[in-house]
């Protein structure tokens, strides 16, 4: 499984730091939706889904968390600990977010507007979707 972590360019001086993100320059898709998670309760896991078409960049802009990525064959855990690094999450990728620090804020940049029909919320359905996609691409 290929994991793509982006290191964004921080700009700063004695006043502080700034990171600017532009679609198709820093982000590999047109940004159609932005949301963030915060005040996540200790020991809570979030996510538990995949998308058929949507792509995302996850950035823990404050604090830290871990992301479990699963492509149906292999699983990897990626820590997000710096506000200038982002994790690219492709479509057809199961994801779970967990181990949030008490001060964590996880920002998500999405390639599509919210569409419930794009979600795969059952893990067995996800595995079947992966298998069907692989058969189709043979």
The answer to whether residues 100 and 63 touch, using CB atoms and an 8 Å cutoff, is yes
Query: Quick one: 73 exposed, middle or buried, by C-beta within 10 A (0-12, 13-18, 19+)?
Result: exposed
Angle at alpha carbon of residue 26, lines to 23 and 28, rounded to 5°: 60
- The answer to whether residue 49 is catalytic is yes
How far is it, in rounded angstroms, from Cα 53 to Cα 10? 30
Catalytic annotation, pick one of 11, 49, 51, 62: 49
Helix (H, G, I), strand (E, B) or coil at 41: coil
Q: Which residues are annotated as catalytic?
A: 49
């Amino acid at each position: 499984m290929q994991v793509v972590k982006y290191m964004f360019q921080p700009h700063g001086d004695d006043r502080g730091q700034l990171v600017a993100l532009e679609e198709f320059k820093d982000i590999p898709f047109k940004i159609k939706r932005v949301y963030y998670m915060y005040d996540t309760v200790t020991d809570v896991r979030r996510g538990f889904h995949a998308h058929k078409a949507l792509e995302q960049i996850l950035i823990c802009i404050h604090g830290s968390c871990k992301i479990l990525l699963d492509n149906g064959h292999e699983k990897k855990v990626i820590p997000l600990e710096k506000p200038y690094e982002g994790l690219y999450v492709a479509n057809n990728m199961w994801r779970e977010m967990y181990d949030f620090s008490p001060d964590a804020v996880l920002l998500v940049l999405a390639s599509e507007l919210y569409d419930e029909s794009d979600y795969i919320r059952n893990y067995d359905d996800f595995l079947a979707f992966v298998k069907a996609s692989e058969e189709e691409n043979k």
